[in-house]
Structure 1
């Protein structure tokens, strides 16, 4: 599937089967993780066959089941840390979707203490992404309207509409969609509204908009 199909097909999944992730798929995931770490100055890590992070009351409260694989989003604090985590984490999510895996962003309902990842001095574990083969493919969530999420004077260019459609499919914490995207000339600005994990969401939404709109069609303000 291409990247637009991945955006449309990706839904959050919390219950996973016992099927192991194939070594070739792991290799492809690690390649994109390495690329994201270089570009985003992050230390994202793939953890496989490791159930401890999701063996807690919090995970059961979050209705997670049989999570044995996850991506730990780790990086140096500061300099738009949460936004970078969202942007590059979602790049990996979309690659995983293309590889036939299911995912779910997890900010709170896992055990940070039991997460098997390396955190260097000055770094922070932002969140994790549950990963594997889902018991189902998840379901689409209701979205706010394009008018609620965008601000534009005059006619809406086709590329902006395409970008908004992709942004509206971006996963956000508790499906809150606390963002607004505006167009002035060919300059696009995006802001997060005060909400739980909205800076992380901003990075995810930004990536979706870029993919949908095409980076050649606009500049970020």
Structure 2
């Protein structure tokens, strides 16, 4: 797609897969400029302090990444002030927005919360900032490599059936079901799919167990997918309700 076209987020939801092998082809300058502009806009809206790092390869040595990544170049550094309410959930929500935009530009991406060197001097943090995760972004081979397929088999499990993603009081409207279909395609830590939605006359809510550090990130990602499919906006936090357009 060209940069002057409106991004089709639902198309990107369908197309997105996690990629761990990248080519050495540089990202086109106009695509980098677009994503940097989006980062600035998102930071302004959210209060986050996300940055673009041109070369994050030093944080992905074979030891730190367990050999799961190849040819890592650019990364989006997902961070924000310690005082930010629901910081990790906001990172998930806005980070996934960037992931879908990068996908629409024909780039590969991968959320990374653990298998990289968090203590690398590449990540210059302010005294009140927390590094939550990074998102690898770059050009990728047209097809998944054999190594990617093998890695995928170790971290993926069969996607849960649609009804396992939610509970409901009474009959669910079709718009809610469409939202859950988008949630079903959301990335999550080792494809754990721990976020659950609840439908009631009073509104739609979402929750996650909270026992994993990645749970709030995954909840932010899932809330974004639901919001994009339905049209509307989720409030952040475990008590946050969905407001439909």
Instruction: Verify same fold: TM over 0.5.
Output: yes
Q: Of 129, 133, 137, which residue of structure 2 is paired with 1:127? A: 133
Other-structure match for 2:242: 220
Offset at residue 153 of structure 1 (A): 2.3
Q: Of 17, 21, 33, which residue of structure 2 is paired with 1:11? A: 17
Gapped runs of 5+ residues in structure 1?
A: none
Residue by residue over 1:16-40, the C-alpha shift from the partner in whole angstroms, topping out at 9 and shown as x without a partner, is 0001011100111011111111111
CA distance in 2, matches of 1:55, 1:31: 29
CA distance in 2, matches of 1:118, 1:178: 31
| Contact 1:13–1:136 (CA under 8 A) maintained in structure 2 | no
Q: Of 167, 171, 177, which residue of structure 1 is paired with 2:183? A: 167
The alignment's C-alpha RMSD in Å is 2.2
Offset at residue 77 of structure 1 (A): 1.6
CA distance in 2, matches of 1:166, 1:9: 12
CA distance in 2, matches of 1:58, 1:117: 15
Superposition pairs for residues 200-219 of structure 1, below 5 Å?
Answer: 200-215=217-232
Offset at residue 158 of structure 1 (A): 1.4
Residue by residue over 1:62-113, the C-alpha shift from the partner in whole angstroms, topping out at 9 and shown as x without a partner, is 5111101111001012411110110111111011001110000001111122
CA distance in 2, matches of 1:180, 1:174: 16
CA distance in 2, matches of 1:23, 1:128: 21
Other-structure match for 1:145: 161
Superposition pairs for residues 28-67 of structure 1, below 5 Å?
Answer: 28-59=34-65, 61=66, 63-67=68-72
Q: Which is bigger in relative contact order (C-alpha 8 A, separation at least 6)?
A: 1
CA distance in 1, matches of 2:123, 2:61: 16
What secondary structure is seen at the aligned counterpart in 1 of 2:106?
A: coil
| Contact 1:161–1:213 (CA under 8 A) maintained in structure 2 | no
CA distance in 2, matches of 1:186, 1:13: 39
1:72 aligns with 2:88: no
| Contact 1:45–1:117 (CA under 8 A) maintained in structure 2 | no
Gapped runs of 5+ residues in structure 2?
A: 1-6, 234-240
Deviates more, 1:31-40 or 1:201-210: 31-40
| Contact 2:170–2:200 (CA under 8 A) maintained in structure 1 | no
Q: Of 164, 179, 183, which residue of structure 1 is paired with 2:195? A: 179
Q: Of 106, 110, 127, which residue of structure 2 is paired with 1:104? A: 110
CA distance in 2, matches of 1:84, 1:110: 21
CA distance in 1, matches of 2:49, 2:43: 6
CA distance in 2, matches of 1:194, 1:117: 26
What secondary structure is seen at the aligned counterpart in 2 of 1:88?
A: helix
1:83 aligns with 2:83: no
Paired positions, count:
220
